[in-house]
Structure 1
Amino acid sequence: MAPVDALIADGGKYLVTFDNWHSMGYGPNVVAIYDGHGQLIRALALSDIVSADYIVALEHSVSSIRWRGEPHFAPTGLLVIPIVVPDAQDDGKEETYLDAVLRLSDGSVISGSSPDWQRAEATAQSMARQKRDYEKQAKQAFIAPLLGPNENTERNWHDYLTEAFYRSSPNWKDASTSTTVLRDPSAPNYAASEGWLRDALLSLDYEHGTMSFASIAPFDFFVARMKAILADAKSGQLKGSKVYVAAPTSALPLLQSIFAKTGAKVFVFDPNSPIPQRPDRLKRYLSRE
């Protein structure tokens, strides 16, 4: 299609192309070696260079795999491709590479058996198992009825609010929701979260649209803070907005009374009431496998 990179050997004896535009790491010709007359010597998929587990362990984006550095020719008729070494620690340190070595005359891969490669492969196998386990758990969670988080953490509540919206909102295909989580008042970084809560409810700098809220703090404290913030709201300030709150169903009348003057429509996601997955969303999810 359209190679991302290409190398031409001195004298034009070989031409090598790498990857395809917007799909690095995918396809049967991540490396293609041609002779000086333009005849294909060999095309290689990434799986011809590293193992399937190694590929799984590499960093993936929506369309590409981050698998290599800048390739170069060696003076002995060889092609050297720096391959990203998967890092099980994922601590943000700089990438490291191992050299994959290919013979230009026939495209044979002649690297991969050194102790460094064996260590990289062992790390990749471990990372691949972890990724597959995570994906299995994510699939089970996507299929199963949704309940509130098992652990009362900020990240879990953000994830719960987002998924609950897509399972519950009538306009889930065309809309999205902001998510705001109030931290525990004893936490040293609590104040910032109350600021986010105030901004979400009272800011006039953006269209409010759909907003979802949850709290790590006890529910009574959460309600008291929302009530205090909304005391500063103007009449009709949130008209046209939809507000979802992670709260018991029995709390809906109270929440509706708190938001009454704002004009917002209020709903609850009851963490103790399972929310089934949408059949059409599940069908679309399973069709991508």
Structure 2
Amino acid sequence: MYVATAEEGFQEGGPWKLNFDGASNAIGNGIGAVLVSPSGDHYPFTSKLDFDCTNNMDEYEACIMGIRAAIEQKIKVLEVYGDSALVIYQLKGEWETRDPKLVRYRNLVLKLIEEFDSVTFCYLPRDENQMADALATLASMFKVNKPEDMKPIQINIHEAPAHCYNLDDEEEKDDHPWYHDILGYVKSREYPDHATKNDKRTLRRLAIDYVLDREILYKKGKDQVLLKCVDVVEAKKFLEEVHKGDQIVSYQRIEKRLGLSIGSQREKDDSNFASSELNFEDYSKGNLTK
């Protein structure tokens, strides 16, 4: 079982890093290793050990798995990091290896590292070895039937809550945005069907702060700043732009699309928008009574 492999892109100059770790519990044993390229790309591997072994044995198994992966990809300069002081200092030759089982593991590692131009072993505290530890723990925590084919696991990063992008076909059209009733009143002084006297009074009060320009509704902010009213589809596009990369560049792109000049006024406008957003939420729920 493995988390991910790379078919290309391993041939980079500079030293690579290898983090390894082993895990043991009542269910079984697992090992994890992560190769990190000079540019910071991560290539994780994990395996479940289907045989009895000690904690120190699974640490050696994890180290060997990572080293073999590095050899397979023709990496020549490697820095090896592990949170097992015993394994690291035995491989560095600073601690004596007395356990016969570990002697054979150590000898295998020393033979494997002959494939490299340079290899260093460094001790790393457990809290700085989190990915390798998580991979080893994952592999150790469940049972796998041998005939089963385990597919790769992809690790993605979600930068926004799922509901922000949960738009069905009907929402993609958004024929009835949150400002629909305000737009109708500002444009033609129309009230929603079944609106009560109190609803109409509240709508008139809300509409005072809005202006219509070429079929686009804006909310008047302080200092004559106009805030464009957007539906859920356009709001989704803005969120995607913000999360694409550099936040400052994204803000500038959004400001340009909205026709705003926020600059030093951003803090004030954010405050104004937050307060007006509360009104939008109340109104969208039909809660017009104050």
TM-score with structure 1 length normalisation?
A: 0.22
TM-score with structure 2 length normalisation?
A: 0.22
Higher strand proportion, which one?
A: 1
The structure with the larger Rg is: 2
Point out which structure has higher relative CO (alpha carbons under 8 A, 6+ apart): 2
